[in-house]
A and B are shown apart, each in its own frame.
Chain A
Amino acid sequence: MVNAERHEYPSYDALLDDYIERGWTDGLPVVPPSPEKVEQFLEAAGLNSDEVLGAVPTREVVVTAEHAAINAVMAGCRPEYMPVVVAAIRAHLHEKANCHSTTGTLSGASQIVIVNGPIRRELEINCEGACFGPGWRANATIGRALRLVIRNVCRAIPGFLDRASFSSPLRYSFCFGENEEASDWAPLHVERGHSADQSTATVHSTMTFVPCVDFTSRGPEEVCESWLGMLRRYGVFTDRFLGDGQNLVLVVGPEHQRYFLEAGWTKDDIRQHLWPRFQNPGPGDRPVMLGSPEGLLIVAAGGPGMAETWFMFPHLAWAITEPIQSIHTETGRR
């Protein structure tokens, strides 16, 4: 049963004007969250409307499954995306995801959803060419659903609790999958303790999202040296609340990945090579304040062509991985 207050409109245009006037959208049109659709989404996730997904204590906010379903409908999701949206919300609301800070900050940090496991292929979540950009419904709407929850439920509204000086286009939506089939590298979720057939959503709040483009390196050590140049330039910072749990995410494109694979380097080999080099910053270098080599998260994604690796420097938060609780739905998907 849907508990939200009902509003009725004579037309879609009237609904949209009112939603935008009330500040219920990111500025883009939304799908009307009719009670029937919201029920359908709750059913797809196997959740009751009042199931609590998490809270933001500093904002007096409790996020329920109904909140998630309403905003997932509005974002344009299909019902079968709902378990991914739920997992992403749970991850975002984990204490160490530090959501009050990462969504209110002057820096305009963005929340990135990384999907692993079989559900990527089932939902057609793009993890290959152009996976960071527009064109894929699952990528576009799952990331948007999380951001609408952050706005409409968690009150991170520009001028209210969102005080970003510039904010970021990444805040409209940012979701992609790891290309697990591209290599025998252990996928992100397996490295974080999940089985390969358990789908997961990892949410990482990033303040700086930049590529390391390097066409000239011809081996794993050289690529690592390029990466170190970027790391020393931007640095990774932490504080007492986060302790040793800070994460840095590197998304490695096929051209760079090839050098590691040809040389037989695993993700852990990369970490062990980089870790001692994080410890002794030179004059003018910024520190890379990760608590352990495992704080460096390596993800394979993207399409061929550009020799690049993307860096997702953290805002003050851990990257949190949550299992996706899939159920059978009427569509036959899991």
Chain B
Amino acid sequence: MKTPLLLGALALAAVPVLAQQKAIPADSVRTIVLQEVAVVTKRHDHQQHLQNFYNANQAATTEELMSRMPELSFIRRGSYGMEPTIRAYSGGQVSVTLDGMRIQGACTDKMDPATIYIEPLNLQRIEVQTAGASSMQGAAIGGSLDMKLAEAELSDERKLSGSVSSGYQSAAHAMLGGLRLSYATPTWGLRASSTYRKAQNYRNGHGEKVLYSQYEKANYALNGKFLLQEDLVLKADLIIDDGWNIGFPALPMDVGQANARIGSVSLVRENSDRRWSRVEARLYANRIAHSMDDSARPDLPVRMDMPGLSRTSGMYLEGTTSPGHHQQLTVRADASASYLSASMTMYQEGQTPMYMLTWPDNRQLQSGIAAQYSFQVGDKTQLQLNSRVNLSDFAITTGEGRSQLSVFGYENTARQFVIPSLSLQASRMVYKKLKASLSGGFNGRTPTASELYGFYLFTQFDGFDYVGNPNMKSEKSLQSEFTLSWQEPRVRLQATGYVSRVQDYIVGTYDPNLSAMTIGARGVKVYDNTPYALLAGAEASAVYNITGYTQLVSTLRYNYGRNADGEPLPMIPPLRSITSLRKYFGDNLWVQGETELAAAQNRNSESFRERPTKAFMLWHLRAGYQRETENKVWQLNTGIENIFDVHYREHLDWGRIARPGRNVFVQVSMGF
């Protein structure tokens, strides 16, 4: 009866990351767990309900799962390859890592965020850390998003297990197939999984087909675990992700090929009797090749190819120790080297091809030392200190690249940045089960390769060509966050407010002296530091177990942003709420009703030609049925999303492209 189920469950803010180490949980960590949940005899355990709760549409992609977390939003240019934002921080302001590994996108148009290289089938959990706590992952001002990979397991007796699943979604006639095989022995384990997806153009709420919204991809993951000693484990991971024919309706180009090869080897020692209770060392390397393609688009003034390549290798070493009673110290040292290059070749009948480097070949060396120190002061008070010093070194690596950038008079293109960050968080049980946390700190981030070296990168969002500026300063942020939470077995409430002032806010500034390269572009913007920007917002969540069989989960979030001139920042999501009510009928069937509500966003950025977005309300209905036979578990998940076929778009969707209309999904899986 211990058969694992296919795909797992998704819980909200329920599992503190360090729980396994009997450590002190940090309030600024939000985790969703997506591990394979063993079906055990103990039923209707509260924790399990919570985990299962967000197990919404099991045919969903990783992006769709994440978009349900109140801290996360996605900038959408197509139905695939959406760019994650944390509290309206995007791009280089957030640190997106895959199990602690850095991955640099190879696309100058951000069509390949690291989140696309992982499927729910090989994802164990997602950790979102806001503000100061993200220092462990990297130098960022907007927090960190880390996706933990599912791991092979060890077992006392040799065991083969696996699952097969298949799903369908009606709006895009999307097919999904998944396969997982695990083999466990007392000293080693292997886990292999693969996922295949194919989606056609989807239908929006008006029943119209949204052209160029199709995609197709295959993902393969292999993980091995070897017990070298009692407390020492060697792990190896390999992920191969190939996407092709990926449409981007909001952009003038699609993606022909997006290939990722991600590998790592790590050693982990876990032993609570040792001075360092956990030590992990990891070496990793990845290579992303991405090529944009416009062959499917009719009537273009110029045809072009835009290939990009990113190679990263790196390492990190992390250790956790307890320097004293009720204290925990985690230290991390990491280093990575990334090499980026991207070019564009335009073709005009009977003419020499027009070739330029959109990312002149460049490299970023990055290293940092971070520490997290937690101290339980008495029964009620807890302190946590996060700090990091990050060194980055950017350079153009070829004479050709330097020659190209000299067009803008940039003679010295090499840059070094030292980014310190520090934050302190204090939590206290203030009244019965009411806990208050206050944190404050400063951090910073380096400009990205595009912001330093980008060469006429056309941005469909505001219609400008963007040019990098190697003379920019780093972006620095001062921030503070306040959380109140109330937790008891049946009810958990949490509300967070945050505010941050971002100094030297990086934004493209219009330069009327430059002429646009892209046909139809409005002009050229050059990246520069502006005096400051102010970002603030709030999130709230409630989980209420009305009865053992009925559960209510609701989340709410609001974001606010303005620049130094008082103008609203672009890409700020409006007030948004998701509320679900789930009821169990017996042990094998559940039904869940859900509403998704977004207010209008009228604080749009005029200087980015951003337009207001209307409010919308969606209704979803989902159901799950599970049947266990002697050695198999069958699972059926089905539902209707956007029941009333509402025609809507979210504020972060580019190009005013409507989202899918009514979508019926069904997924069947069999685990053994």
**Does chain A bind chain B?**
no
Which B residues fall within an 8 A CB radius of A?
Answer: none
